[in-house]
Structure 1
Amino acid sequence: MTNILSATPEGGFDLGHGMMMPDAAILRDGRVAADSFWSEARHAAERDAIYRRCWLYMVRAEDLPEPGDYVVRNVEICGVSVLIVRGKDDVLRAFHNVCRHRGMPVADGACGKAEAFRCPYHSWTFGLDGSLKAIPNQRRFPALDAGDLGLVPIAIDVFAGFVFINLDPQPGLSLKAFLGGIAPLLEATTLAPFTHRDSLSYDVAANWKAGLDPQYEGYHVGTVHALTIREISVTPANPFSEFRKMAFAGPHAAGWSQGNPSWRPRADRIVQSFAVQTMGALAGRVAGEGYPSAETPASLAIFPNFMIHPGAGGWFTQQHWPLTAQSHRWTAHYYYHAPVTASERLAIAQATAFGRDSGMEDFMVMARQQKGLASGATDSFYYGEAEMLPRHRAAVIRSVLNGAQANMRSAA
């Protein structure tokens, strides 16, 4: 794993460089300012320095298999609607979903298929390549050059089937450079065998970083997840569900969990027992296809808000998108082997519901935590050594914001 340095005595950390080098003070003691989870000024700073500058995961390339297939993704914190479409030349392109005439969105809905994009306001029409194709009553626009009025492009790139965009008109790093040492792990997360997908989305009354925190550590599992994953994750030898290994590559991170190898569903949980047995049979039927190895991380965190969780029976991806300083939207996709029987379909539905229930346990805690932090009762909080992944992320964010502030001062 090139440039992935494990947290072991003989290893170290690839902590990146420049603005992505984590803040040393936060890495050292884990202390984080409480207002970083509720301040409007901090929210705006993260918008400008992170979400308008970093590569952001949008969609899988196979979700747009044919020319004319498109998706619309909204980056709410930036007020941007992103249109991603596969052109007639088979190239994926991204544009601001905004007509150049009067600012109307040209594509509606979350996804679809189109020969062209016709604005619903005045029927200006744009090709799949973004070029302006038609202006009704064009003679009334004598000064306009249609060649200069195509949809505004957005930087886009694809790595291992994962489609990313960057809202910076001139990204400071290519996608490959941004991924850096985490790229080999991302490349290994093939989703090709998992052709069945379930999706969930919820708005959560908590800062986006509060949403990510529980995904980055197991310290809370024994307390919060009594009804779902506690017995799967906690053992007498590992009572706080700590990662057995962690790795860092610039702003990104990975964690290898230990789990509870002796766990079996309780006999009185009939639906869960049935689902686990059926999912095991489904995974066994396609053994060797997409199976993670012992060296596959349980959690792969791509800065700023994208996480991948591999598994033998399927893969789970999630993102936490900022809405306001004190709220965010959780989007999750569960990828499974295609079910053949009714039993397999039921087992997959139960697996997704189990993931939803585990998420809900986190969401309830997040909302209460958010109120506590926003009350002003404390000016800081702490990430312990068992919470090194969220500590690392907080340190990266602090460094990025410090760098952005320094650049603004030097430009003034």
Structure 2
Amino acid sequence: MARFPKPPEGSWTQHYPELGTAPVSYEDSIDPAFYEKERHAIFKRAWLNVGRVEQVPRKGSYFTKELKVANTSIIVVRTTSGEIKAFHNICRHHGNKLVWNDMPLEETSGVCRQFTCKYHAWRYDLDGNLTFVQQEGEFFDLDKSRYGLVAVHCEVWEGFIFVNFAKQPEQSLREFLGPMITDLEGYPFDKMTSRFTYRSEVKANWKLYMDAFQEFYHAPVLHANQSPTAYSKAAAEAGFEAPHYRIEGPHRLVSTSGVRAWEMADEMRKPIEDICRSGLFGPWDKPDLGEMPVGLNPAKCDPWGLDSFQLFPNFVLLFWGQGWYITYHYWPTSHNTHIFEGSAYFPQPRTPRERIAQELAAVSFKEYGLQDANTLEATQSMIESQVLDEFLLCDQEVLIRHLHKETAAWVEDYDRKKAGV
């Protein structure tokens, strides 16, 4: 394992004195009233990633997204002109959900020339215009040009599709992302089309799961059984500390060193890793992806493990040094439940061996995620007991402080604007 000098106490938190060092409260993760404020103050104001352009590869391609936190369903579609647009998934006639298959609350996707309501066959073109009304003459003063689908603000950055539910977004998507994120431009996202996706309903507040992936203090302990005993014991004794943290606006970054698994002693590896030439850090045979963007590996680690970019509020881009990346989404469904979505992206495999290596990496990532989710449900159940109302955080948990402080700031800002202050 690569080793780095241990920074002095307070070495990261001291860069962000506004976060403080006192114990923190997780009241924001157990209070139903605060969650209701979050829904309006954050999820109806911030830019939210809902997918990638590969999900709508050609004219007429579409997918739906169920967003309980925003109390809506949306349609994302590639129009005749090739533009990507988003609309609320509601017919202008009786308010029926416009696009769905057998189960109205399940997401769906496909290709079409127009959208037709199942209830009374009103039709809309790919730009959302109302084009046909059954028995149109029966209606009173109907002007079809006034009754198109309700649009949702939609912008694309590096192939990622974002929506914003505000009447008028306070910032453009690019302004919202800021330099730390836009410095990732140029990464070959378009080449990463081999995708593995997992989805789970987690009985914990969405922020608690984000917290789990914002620090690596837990990794040598919680995930010890995922490694051979000789390695996990040494890791637990040594601990792990990431060499770089950064906060910019509402977003956060943690960057870590890595390992070259194939250089480790035999007893440090699992037999399946040798067979598949892969594991948690990804396939051993790194693809040639060209020059990486300036925003990656800011600590210049060698070997470099990963960079985890936490995009506020609920989207994570995690880049692995071995040439693949993961996305995480945390979609709140209540104050103590959310839907977790994780996707691993690789270049298209050229051989069966490459495919197997990708599958082992994806399965390893899933196992780690399950361990985290299981622990977080235990956390949620106990903080709801309110036996304790403050919790200690160490220096390398600085990003956790920031997420909870940023969430509170958005809610406070919303309350002020609502009150006209």
TM-score by length of 2: 0.86
Correspondence 1:84 to 2:83: no
Q: What does residue 270 of structure 2 align with?
A: 269
Q: What does residue 138 of structure 1 align with?
A: 136
* CA distance in 2: counterparts of 1:166 and 1:305, whole angstroms: 13
Once the two structures are superposed, what CA deviation does each residue of 1:291-312 show, in whole Å capped at 9, x if it has no partner? Answer: 6864386101110011111122
| Contact 2:224 2:236 (8 Å CA) reproduced | no
* CA distance in 1: counterparts of 2:86 and 2:25, whole angstroms: 36
* CA distance in 1: counterparts of 2:357 and 2:182, whole angstroms: 32
* CA distance in 1: counterparts of 2:231 and 2:290, whole angstroms: 24
TM-aligned CA distance change 1:267 to 1:404, over 3 Å:
closer
| Contact 1:265 1:272 (8 Å CA) reproduced | no
* CA distance in 2: counterparts of 1:232 and 1:155, whole angstroms: 49
* CA distance in 1: counterparts of 2:255 and 2:233, whole angstroms: 14
**Paired residues for 1:10-409 under 5 Å:** 24=18, 27-108=19-100, 109-228=107-226, 239-261=238-260, 263=264, 266=267, 269-276=270-277, 280=283, 282-283=285-286, 286-289=287-290, 294-295=297-298, 298-311=307-320, 312-409=322-419
Whose RCO is larger (CA < 8 A, sep 6+)? 1
Once the two structures are superposed, what CA deviation does each residue of 1:71-106 show, in whole Å capped at 9, x if it has no partner? Answer: 111211121111110100111111001111111121
| Contact 2:283 2:357 (8 Å CA) reproduced | no
Q: Which runs of 5+ in 1 are unaligned?
A: 1-6, 16-21
TM-aligned CA distance change 1:226 to 1:219, over 3 Å:
same
| Contact 2:86 2:163 (8 Å CA) reproduced | yes
Once the two structures are superposed, what CA deviation does each residue of 1:13-32 show, in whole Å capped at 9, x if it has no partner? Answer: 9x9xxxxxx993xx102533
TM-aligned CA distance change 1:135 to 1:241, over 3 Å:
same
TM-aligned CA distance change 1:78 to 1:224, over 3 Å:
same
Q: Which runs of 5+ in 2 are unaligned?
A: 1-6, 101-106, 301-305
TM-aligned CA distance change 1:403 to 1:268, over 3 Å:
closer
* CA distance in 1: counterparts of 2:136 and 2:392, whole angstroms: 61
* CA distance in 1: counterparts of 2:128 and 2:233, whole angstroms: 52
| Contact 1:267 1:273 (8 Å CA) reproduced | no
* CA distance in 1: counterparts of 2:63 and 2:357, whole angstroms: 29
* CA distance in 1: counterparts of 2:291 and 2:119, whole angstroms: 46
TM-aligned CA distance change 1:148 to 1:308, over 3 Å:
same
TM-aligned CA distance change 1:265 to 1:249, over 3 Å:
farther
| Contact 2:63 2:109 (8 Å CA) reproduced | yes
* CA distance in 1: counterparts of 2:259 and 2:272, whole angstroms: 20
* CA distance in 2: counterparts of 1:79 and 1:177, whole angstroms: 26
After TM superposition, the structure 1 stretch with the greater mean CA deviation from structure 2, 343-352 or 66-75, is 343-352
* CA distance in 1: counterparts of 2:17 and 2:163, whole angstroms: 26
Paired residue type of 1:139: G
Report the alpha carbon displacement of residue 188 of structure 1 after superposing the two structures with TM: 4.2
Query: How many residues matched?
Result: 393
Report the alpha carbon displacement of residue 340 of structure 1 after superposing the two structures with TM: 2.7
TM-aligned CA distance change 1:117 to 1:30, over 3 Å:
farther
TM-aligned CA distance change 1:277 to 1:157, over 3 Å:
closer
* CA distance in 1: counterparts of 2:291 and 2:326, whole angstroms: 13
What secondary structure, in the 3-state scheme, does the structure 1 residue paired with 2:119 have?
A: coil
Report the alpha carbon displacement of residue 271 of structure 1 after superposing the two structures with TM: 1.7
Q: What does residue 3 of structure 1 align with?
A: none
Report the alpha carbon displacement of residue 266 of structure 1 after superposing the two structures with TM: 4.2
| Contact 1:282 1:337 (8 Å CA) reproduced | no
TM-aligned CA distance change 1:12 to 1:271, over 3 Å:
closer
Query: Percent identity at matched positions?
Result: 27
Report the alpha carbon displacement of residue 325 of structure 1 after superposing the two structures with TM: 0.6
* CA distance in 2: counterparts of 1:299 and 1:51, whole angstroms: 21
Report the alpha carbon displacement of residue 186 of structure 1 after superposing the two structures with TM: 3.3
Once the two structures are superposed, what CA deviation does each residue of 1:46-65 show, in whole Å capped at 9, x if it has no partner? Answer: 10100010000111123212
What secondary structure, in the 3-state scheme, does the structure 1 residue paired with 2:20 have?
A: helix
TM-aligned CA distance change 1:221 to 1:392, over 3 Å:
same
TM-aligned CA distance change 1:268 to 1:409, over 3 Å:
closer
Report the alpha carbon displacement of residue 228 of structure 1 after superposing the two structures with TM: 2.7
Report the alpha carbon displacement of residue 146 of structure 1 after superposing the two structures with TM: 1.1
TM-aligned CA distance change 1:34 to 1:301, over 3 Å:
closer
| Contact 1:232 1:260 (8 Å CA) reproduced | no
CA RMSD of aligned residues (A): 2.9
Report the alpha carbon displacement of residue 236 of structure 1 after superposing the two structures with TM: 6.2
Report the alpha carbon displacement of residue 12 of structure 1 after superposing the two structures with TM: 9.6
Q: What does residue 3 of structure 2 align with?
A: none
What secondary structure, in the 3-state scheme, does the structure 1 residue paired with 2:142 have?
A: coil
TM-score by length of 1: 0.87
